[in-house]
Structure 1
Amino acid sequence: MHWINWAIVAVYLAVVVFDGLRRTRGTTNIEGYFLANRSLPWWAVGLSVMATQLSAVTLIGTTGQGATDGLRFVQFYFGLPIAMVILGVTIVPFLHGAKVYTAYEFLEKRFDAKTRSLTSFLFLLSRGMSCGTIIAAPSVVLSAIFGWDITWCVALIGIPTVIYTVLGGVQAVTWADVKQMFVIVGALVAIVVVLIMRMPVPLDNALEIAGATGRLRVFDFSFNLSETYTFWSGILGGTFLMLSYFGTDQSQVQRYLAAKSVDQARSSLLMSAYWKIPLQALILLIGVLVFLFYTFTPAPMLFNPQHSAQVQQKEPATFAALEARYSAAITQRGAAAREASTDIDNGADAATKSALLAFRSADSSVNVVRKDALAAAGRVTGEASKDVNYIIPRFVLDHLPLGFAGVFLAAVLAAAMSSIAAELNSLSTASVVDFYQRWFRKEGTDAHFLFVSKAATAMWGVFACVVAVYAANLGSLIEVVNRFGSFFYGSILGVFILAMIPRTRAFGAFVGLLSGMGAVAAVSFGVPTLSFLWHNVIGAVVVVVVGSVLSVGDRKLPTA
């Protein structure tokens, strides 16, 4: 990569770390460190909420998914607006009005200490692992693209993030997120412009060609419980997932607890409700445009350069045969695409339909060869051979003009750092408030608790980097951890629902939480074909039902 691209990345990292140092001034207590003295404007909180969701996995993985699978992934977010409206009139006023530092602190006020501690522990467990995988995802890609050792890639992403998060707290995290959102969106728009300008056929023709492969299909109304991305799984399962994530996950709750008022906290959530789906659709559309670009411009057979090199080295005959098949297949696909575009321009409906069918057949042939190549890569390397995460980085490095690659890499780092920083800050908050202050040292000076908070942030940062190095060698762990989050989300949401139901009791909430987790475990291992989105529904329903029934029984018990 050209030195100008690296200069752009270096300047970006320097600005973020310097801003974190600058914002340490005036932070002398944990309310300032964790909640910015509850003084942040709604628009900054809203952008921070959105930035924490835009991890590097989104920029790298979701664009790759758009290239291979199209737009239907956007259905995953259909429940988001519903969830934001519900949260705005339920949990947000409860938590903001309670003047708590963590969402789980509220559970002790409503139920008891053991329910609070168990829920907070589950958050720390799942979110600590998640933070490591967020670092690992872009690190793996950087390692493969540039040939660097994975440890150095983890350090490049993790160390600057830990520094400005430790020093600046939520104040630095939030305002860094604001800058990072502009960097991310700017990079995405720049890539779209370049892709459109590089398209050798009119854009409407290209999109019609992509539509022939099903990549522009957004809605899937089939009610298939084993299919993750459908309208119903997005509306039902997605609503429960978003309710839990934005309403009970400390990494999100901490953002709107830092807002000036309940109304501003609501406004920050509604910003995500309005803008998240269009932004996600834009990211997926970039993937579709990259697919179209590679339809007219020869694409690598294997986008992971390390896997490609190893297959060529260890099985040269196999690689040569695959390359010959692939070259013929992509040549045929490109010719079919150009013929289809010509027929579209001529307005020949019958000819266009025939040409699009021919293109779809040629595209299927390309996919068959790539599937065989990926199988060979998996056999040779002994690693997961899906290369969806390498599609957009290869396009950026191989085809974007000078400087654009630096902007995109800065955007990837911005996306990773915003998510990591939010999670580190929330992990530190839960550790100090829910455990250190609650069980070990209730009284102390502001200076002492501020020191402990920064130490906890650094500790979780080191933990996440260690997990990232380990996770980088286990290709499937990212998917496993994502499912692991849904394993707990529904049950945790159920406890907060119980907290808003009058006359529910602590015993019912605690046992309900354990029951919800048990039910999800039984379904997860007993019915592996069930999409993980439905785990959130099952966990929440079981917790609420069991907790409500036991609370009724508890009220009937005689008091001493």
Structure 2
Amino acid sequence: MEIIDWVILCGTLVFIVVYGVWKTKGSTNVDDYIRGGNEAKWSTIGLSVMATQASAITFLSTPGQAFHDGMGFVQFYFGLPLAMIIICMVFIPLYHKMKVYTAYEFLESRFDLKTRTLAAILFLIQRGLAAGITIFAPSIILSAVLGWDLKVLNIIIGTLVIIYTVSGGTKAVSVTQKQQMFIIMTGMFITFFFILSYLPEDISFSKALKIAGASDKLNILDFSFNTKSRYTFWSGITGGLFLFLSYFGTDQSQVQRYLSGKSIRESQLGLVFNGIFKIPMQFFILLIGVMVFVFYQYNPSPLNFNPSATETVLNSEFKEDYSILQKNQVELEEEKRIAQNKFSAALDLKEYTAVEEAKQHIKQINRKDSLNRVTAKTIIKKANKNTETNDKDYVFIHFILNNLPKGLIGLLLAVILSAAMSSTASELNALGTITALDLYKRNQTTDKTENHYVAASKWFTLLWGVIAILIACIANLFDNLIQLVNIIGSVFYGNVLGIFLLAFFFKYIKGNAVFFAAVLTQLIIFIIYYYSIHIYSSGEEKLGYLWLNFIGAALVIFIAFMFEIFGRLLKKPPLKT
């Protein structure tokens, strides 16, 4: 990195923190601090909702996901528009009518205090873990690529977020996220056009798409009913629907964004905005990853994009084996370039037979390339079994640091850290709010002042910030970071969503049945996930994690019905004879 990169990076981060503190100073009551004084317009809500979900993991992991596996991941979001419609019609009107500060207040009025507390605790567990991961994600990758100290990075990112989140609360999160989304999307668009400019002169964007298609990177839709596959059309509109209903409808980090709206209409328009633009945004980020793949068809790429993994094996007794594999890869890349040129020429001549022959040759080379990379991972594991060999999260940052011009590198690093800060800020804001209002305030036996609860919210936000930093410092990479966050959510969200669906639509069910059904459901989901992971680690995954959202919601509803029916039968007096 050059001086200009450091100036752009540091200047951007300092601007976000100072702007957030300056724009939101003086929040002295709970309404201002928690709901931002209900001043947010739909555009602010929409951007804030998008920024909350689009963490650094999105911009680091998603391109790498597309590089390795293609565009199929976009199916994960197919249930989102329908979820936005349901939340706009059901959740938002109820929340505004009751003038709640948190989603879980509604559960106490519908059921009882213990159900509210259970849902709040489930949220705190999963969102507390996620907050640590959103800090850890950029830190682990930047530390490996740039040589920065991992723990120092965790502390820097966490501290910057804590400063303006504790200072200004919900309004600080919302106003800074507008700036962060502008920085993020500007950086991603500039990067996309730079990638296209780096391709050979005769490779247009249209031809680049055909090259990607020849390697099966543009297979967007999978209509199979294969539950083993993580991403299909059906898992997206079912499991994805339930995940997004849970996330946007019951997760306080999102609910708090639209509870700050000036009116029901502004909140609804904000979510509609998210429903319309979220899928195109994710599609675009995946497309960047596909274009990076095309770029590396004409340019050399490492066997493993994680530089620390490469360094580990080259400093081990397996150095010679890895070096031989690297030489084979160089020869294969030359063969790859020749094959791509033949494919391009066949496309220009519009000869169907030649195009198909060239495509089959490319697929054959891709199989060799995949085999080389699997072999590389095996050798790395032999060198050090604790080294992370999964390099999906390192693909995009490798491209940025090795190919983009001075200045733009600083901007892209600012994009990654801004995304981490925006998502983490929402999470800490929500964690502090839930702890202060759903647990601390609700269990107070004496009246306290508004200032007291504002101070309590700030202290709890600070506490969760410290916890998130600690989690980041002890976290480990797991498969792919964007999948890890969604897996954590899927383990908890279905159960919580089921509780809310019972509250909205099943007036027959009472608090005791819901509480015990939720406890039992969570235990069952843990067991299902444990055995799914056990099977997956042996080479085959029997159940894609998205299905946990549907299973969790269906289970808690069914079990609550059973508990309620049996409970009423037990209470029913015996017939007189």
User: TM-score range, shorter-chain basis?
Assistant: over 0.9
Match of 1:378 among 376, 381, 388: 381
Alpha carbons 2:313, 2:383 under 8 Å: kept = yes
Structure 2 residue aligned with 1:312 = 314
Question: 2:342 aligns to what SS in structure 1?
Answer: helix
1:519 CA drift (Å): 3.1
Structure 2 residue aligned with 1:504 = 509
> 1:281-300, CA deviations, whole angstroms, 9 ceiling, x for partnerless residues?
00000000000001111112
Give distance in 2, aligned partners of 1:306 and 1:291: 22
1:34 CA drift (Å): 1.2
| Structure 2: runs of 5 or more not aligned | 534-541
Structure 1 residue aligned with 2:219 = 217
Are 1:342 and 2:350 an aligned pair? Answer: no
Give distance in 2, aligned partners of 1:396 and 1:102: 40
| Structure 1: runs of 5 or more not aligned | none
Give distance in 1, aligned partners of 2:321 and 2:84: 52
| Corresponding residue pairs, total | 559
1:252 CA drift (Å): 0.6
Give distance in 1, aligned partners of 2:481 and 2:409: 28
Indicate the RMSD between aligned Cα atoms, in angstroms. 1.7
Q: Aligned partner of 1:350: which letter?
A: T
1:555 CA drift (Å): 5.5
Instruction: Tell me which moved more, 24-33 or 244-253.
Output: 24-33
Alpha carbons 2:61, 2:482 under 8 Å: kept = no
Match of 1:270 among 266, 269, 272: 272
1:550 CA drift (Å): 3.4
Question: 2:104 aligns to what SS in structure 1?
Answer: helix
Alpha carbons 2:142, 2:148 under 8 Å: kept = yes
Structure 1 residues 430 and 179: alpha-carbon distance in aligned structure 2, compared to 1, 3 A threshold = same
Structure 1 residues 322 and 527: alpha-carbon distance in aligned structure 2, compared to 1, 3 A threshold = closer
Give distance in 2, aligned partners of 1:127 and 1:527: 22
Question: 1:90 aligns to what SS in structure 2?
Answer: helix
Give distance in 2, aligned partners of 1:442 and 1:287: 56
Alpha carbons 2:70, 2:218 under 8 Å: kept = yes
1:474 CA drift (Å): 7.1
Question: 2:338 aligns to what SS in structure 1?
Answer: helix
Alpha carbons 2:25, 2:167 under 8 Å: kept = no
Q: Aligned partner of 2:99: which letter?
A: K
> 1:486-507, CA deviations, whole angstroms, 9 ceiling, x for partnerless residues?
1111110011011112232111
Structure 1 residue aligned with 2:17 = 17
Structure 1 residue aligned with 2:537 = none
Structure 1 residues 316 and 518: alpha-carbon distance in aligned structure 2, compared to 1, 3 A threshold = closer
Question: 1:119 aligns to what SS in structure 2?
Answer: helix
Structure 1 residue aligned with 2:238 = 236
Question: 1:291 aligns to what SS in structure 2?
Answer: helix
Are 1:91 and 2:91 an aligned pair? Answer: yes
Give distance in 2, aligned partners of 1:14 and 1:22: 12
Give distance in 2, aligned partners of 1:203 and 1:386: 29
Match of 2:521 among 512, 516, 521: 516
Q: Aligned partner of 1:168: which letter?
A: G
Q: Aligned partner of 1:177: which letter?
A: Q
Alpha carbons 2:41, 2:266 under 8 Å: kept = yes
Mapping for residues 123-272 of structure 1, pairs under 5 Å = 123-200=123-200, 201-272=203-274
- Relative to the length of structure 1, the TM-score reads 0.97
Are 1:45 and 2:45 an aligned pair? Answer: yes
Alpha carbons 1:35, 1:101 under 8 Å: kept = yes
Question: 1:103 aligns to what SS in structure 2?
Answer: coil
Give distance in 2, aligned partners of 1:110 and 1:299: 57
Instruction: Tell me which moved more, 108-117 or 294-303.
Output: 294-303
Structure 2 residue aligned with 1:440 = 444
Q: Aligned partner of 1:502: which letter?
A: K
- Relative to the length of structure 2, the TM-score reads 0.94
Structure 1 residues 346 and 135: alpha-carbon distance in aligned structure 2, compared to 1, 3 A threshold = same
Structure 1 residues 97 and 554: alpha-carbon distance in aligned structure 2, compared to 1, 3 A threshold = farther
Give distance in 2, aligned partners of 1:527 and 1:475: 14
Q: Aligned partner of 1:163: which letter?
A: I
Structure 1 residue aligned with 2:406 = 402
Structure 1 residue aligned with 2:539 = none
Structure 1 residues 268 and 505: alpha-carbon distance in aligned structure 2, compared to 1, 3 A threshold = same
Structure 1 residue aligned with 2:367 = 364
Are 1:301 and 2:303 an aligned pair? Answer: yes
Structure 1 residues 403 and 21: alpha-carbon distance in aligned structure 2, compared to 1, 3 A threshold = same
1:203 CA drift (Å): 2.0
Structure 1 residues 460 and 71: alpha-carbon distance in aligned structure 2, compared to 1, 3 A threshold = same
Are 1:536 and 2:552 an aligned pair? Answer: no
Alpha carbons 1:519, 1:538 under 8 Å: kept = no
1:64 CA drift (Å): 0.4
Give distance in 1, aligned partners of 2:104 and 2:445: 18
Alpha carbons 2:388, 2:477 under 8 Å: kept = no
Structure 1 residue aligned with 2:530 = 525
Give distance in 2, aligned partners of 1:441 and 1:66: 54
Structure 1 residue aligned with 2:538 = none
1:42 CA drift (Å): 1.2
Instruction: Tell me which moved more, 379-388 or 395-404.
Output: 379-388
